[in-house]
Chains A and B, each alone.
Chain A
Amino acid sequence: MKGDTVKPWTSILLLACGMGALPVQAAHPDDAKGLWITAEKDAVIEFKPCADKPSALCAHIVWDKDAGTSTDTCGVQIAQMERYDDAAWRAGWVYDPRGKRKYKGVLRVKSGDLFIRAFIGVEVLGETEQLKRVTSLPANPVCKS
């Protein structure tokens, strides 16, 4: 019967679920520092200690593919995290410059990528953006601010 074919697919799903259980190196607060490019490669964000509070982590847009246009977001601060705890930067906020809204936030570095979760209330009510580390900014366009 056609219905019997479900078992192999169930096995595939269960097997695939194991893909998330790869060994992960112990995380360190400094792992999040540096330059990170967004999933759609439309902005680079720099994470570094806040100028007015070195124990916290601040994030600013340092490259925007729309730099120099009316939607330029160069220089905008998009996150600030107050403390590092349980392998994540926490107790902070994340700002969405396009939607112009501010959310609670948490940052994690896993398998070399940075995961920014913006949420309301509790972490489960949110969305995660995955960023890749870059060592330098794209040549063009240049952020002036």
Chain B
Amino acid sequence: MFEFRQFTVLLLATMASVTAMNAMAQEATASYVIDTEVKFTTDQRTRGISDSLNGPSAKVSVQAAHESGLIALAEFASVSRDQFLDGSGLGVTLAAGYRFGDSEGWHYGVGLAREMFPGSRFDAPQGFDLNTGTPTEFRSGNYDSSFAVLEVGYGAIEGRLMNVISKSYRGANTGSVCGTMLALMADPTEGLECYARGVHGSRGSWLLDLDYKYKLAPNTTLTLHVGKQKVKNFKEADFTDERIGIAHKQWGYEWGAEWVMTQTKVRELYLAQDGDRLRKTDNDRLVLSVSRKF
């Protein structure tokens, strides 16, 4: 009986040892991954336009991916309350979709995204009375937008096409676009012509991104970007943006430097009231960043 007990203990101990040695080799591969990234930047730019009034910003991103191809993203960035009026100073992006294809060849993605600025609202006149010279029909709006997203990539080249499915793209409607033009442009003609087109939102706007990454060294990447934004019903608000940047991984952090360029058609639409002065949010500038993944 005693010998049998000893043998059993020895056998169990041996099995435990073998199990521990093989644990890593036997362990199943991950079926999902959740990446969290914290990023500090000297300017929070979205499609070349500053969301932080040219000031520093922090962003937290959480991205989840499942082996089925399903992905989800949540981003929280600090933004300027002078641009996103009455808001909490937070920009939130939520997205979900499906990616498939060959990372070395053609790959694709489809999804939906929602960009929100909690609490942020503005009032703008949807009409203008030419007889009395006064704005009319003040309506409240917000900067929130929803998008349908299509991604097509080949190797290191990534293309993304987004269509605005919400009432407006970042609040662009007759009141905000035509009203701003009338208020800020020296010549009122374009603002009045804008109002004469009637009351519209910007559902159906198209946003196009083209990105390319090239490894200069194992831990250094050159990034190139061009973007084009066509705002439905308001061609005055169309703009393009380009970025050329370097990202370098060192000490567990990614250090970035990007030269950002933006070409707006009507610059008055991209001015923000900062106290008693107007500031550009579409100026070309160098943006520095540091980020870490957890």
Which positions in A face B, CB cutoff 8 Å? 1-6, 9-10, 12-13, 16-17, 19-20, 38-40, 76-77, 80, 93, 95, 101-104, 108, 113, 117, 119-126, 128-132
Contact = CB atoms under 8 A, between A and B. Distances in A.
Given A3-B265, A125-B99, 20 more contacts: A3-B239, A4-B263, A5-B261, A13-B212, A13-B224, A16-B212, A40-B249, A76-B24, A80-B25, A95-B24, A103-B30, A113-B218, A120-B33, A121-B67, A121-B69, A124-B99, A124-B102, A125-B33, A125-B67, A125-B71
A3 B102 contact: no
Contact of A102 (B28, B68, B155, B157): B28
B134 to A, nearest CB: 32
B124 to A, nearest CB: 25
Contacts of B25: 77, 80
A130 to B, nearest CB: 4
B264 interface: yes
A124 B224 contact: no
B263 A126 contact: no
A40 B264 contact: no
A108 B261 CA distance: 36
Nearest to A10: B226
B286 to A, nearest CB: 16
B249 A125 contact: no
Contacts of B103: 117, 119, 123-124, 126, 128
Contacts of A131: 218
SS class, residues of chain B in contact with chain A: strand
B31 interface: yes
B268 to A, nearest CB: 13
A2 B226 contact: no
Interface in B97-136: 99-104, 107
Interface in B177-219: 210, 212, 214-215, 217-219
21 contacts: A3-B239, A6-B228, A9-B242, A9-B261, A10-B226, A12-B224, A13-B226, A13-B242, A19-B214, A40-B250, A40-B251, A103-B33, A108-B104, A117-B103, A120-B31, A120-B32, A123-B102, A125-B65, A129-B218, A130-B218, A130-B219
Interface in B77-115: 99-104, 107
B29 A20 contact: no
SS class, residues of chain A in contact with chain B: mixed
Contacts of A128: 103
A122 B69 contact: yes
B107 A121 contact: no
In the A-B complex, the 7 residue pairs with the smallest Cβ-Cβ separation, listed nearest first, are A121-B67, A39-B218, A39-B219, A130-B218, A3-B263, A9-B242, A123-B103
A91 B224 CA distance: 33
Contacts of B24: 76-77, 95, 102
A10 B241 CA distance: 10
Contacts of B228: 6
